[in-house]
Amino acid sequence: MVLVPGLLPPSRENWVLINNLWQFFPVVTGIQWLIDFYPQGKTSIESRFNLPGKWAWAIMEAPGFITLLYNMKTLPSELGLGPLPWVNWTMAGLYSAHYFYRAILSPLVLNPSMSPIHPLVFVSALAFNLTNSLCLSGWLAGYGPTTAHDWAGRLYWIQAGLVVWGWSLLGNIFHDDDLREIRRSALRRQKEQAKKDNKPIEGVQKLYMMPKNGLFHYVLFPHYLCEWFEWLGFWMIGGLACTPARAFLFNEISTMLPRALQGRRWYIQKFGKDRVGNRKAVIPGLI
């Protein structure tokens, strides 16, 4: 079923145009190097327009993998193609698994609390995820390799990419959970205090500490680094010709790197240079 003619699923002409423009997204992120305004998470602001953190996060992230799976299901039949190769579905599965964790499990099940999200961040993230999934799904569902022959000779690269992706996802989850434990400990203390005072808990108090486990010894945003390696492994599977996977990796770096550097400045302001020490923002010993 065609939801939006020419877009869901995308026509070849529209897909080529959007995919080509998507390569230039890093230019758009240039403003992040000039300002520290980022009303979400640790740097969220008080605003009457703020959205509830958990549900806003889920709603802005989930359309990505939903769009990808929809196009994977509908575009091949629109183009008159047979069953797609297993590698196409494997890449679609990896993308969907990551975003199921990121959009559903993390905010709605695992996180004890989340700061409110400003509509500007919500709209920007939603647009990013929809555009990114449109580019990837177009390539995977009909405008990239569509037969097993197209993947011939690439098994070792596919296997290597799967290993990189898998270990990086585990690293991402590990470091995310270290941050969650800070919030869980705050909630436990709140519950103990509420029990002593015989009062109900009103939300989860914001508590910020310096995380120390894993790569947090060396950088302040290791979950960013792990996510970049995830999508490097994803690109390795797709190969050099997979321009949407390449753009995804570069676009993530271009928008997350200035955020990490801004976050390091926040940590220094919050805890002081001595507490932060030699820890870099995202790449050990470098940045």
Task: Provide the pLDDT for residue 201.
Answer: 60
Task: Provide the pLDDT for residue 212.
Answer: 86
Nearest to 42 by CA among 235, 264, 283: 264
Task: Provide the pLDDT for residue 205.
Answer: 58
Cα–Cα distance between 103 and 124 in angstroms, integer? 15
pLDDT tens digits, 190-202:
777 667 766 666 6
What is the pTM (predicted TM-score) of this model? 0.92
Question: What are the angstrom distances between the C-alpha of 35 and each of 30, 44, 67, 235?
Answer: 10, 14, 32, 31
Percentage of the chain beyond pLDDT 90 is 78
Task: Provide the pLDDT for residue 2.
Answer: 83
Question: What are the angstrom distances between the C-alpha of 77 and each of 130, 138, 146, 154, 208?
Answer: 21, 13, 12, 26, 51
Task: Provide the pLDDT for residue 213.
Answer: 92
Task: Provide the pLDDT for residue 42.
Answer: 75
Domain ranges of the chain: 11-19+38-152, 153-287
Residues with Cβ within 8 Å of 84's Cβ and at least 6 positions away in sequence, in order, are: 72, 76, 140, 141, 146
Q: Is 129 exposed, middle or buried (0-12, 13-18, 19+ CB in 10 A)?
A: buried
Residue type, 269: Q
Question: What SS3 class is residue 201?
Answer: coil
Q: How many other C-beta atoms can be found within 10 angstroms of the C-beta atom of residue 210?
A: 14
Task: Provide the pLDDT for residue 209.
Answer: 80
Task: Provide the pLDDT for residue 203.
Answer: 57
Task: Provide the pLDDT for residue 155.
Answer: 97
Low-confidence ranges of the chain (pLDDT < 70): 193-194, 197-207
SS3 content of the chain, % helix, strand, coil (to 5): 70, 5, 25
Cα–Cα distance between 242 and 151 in angstroms, integer? 12
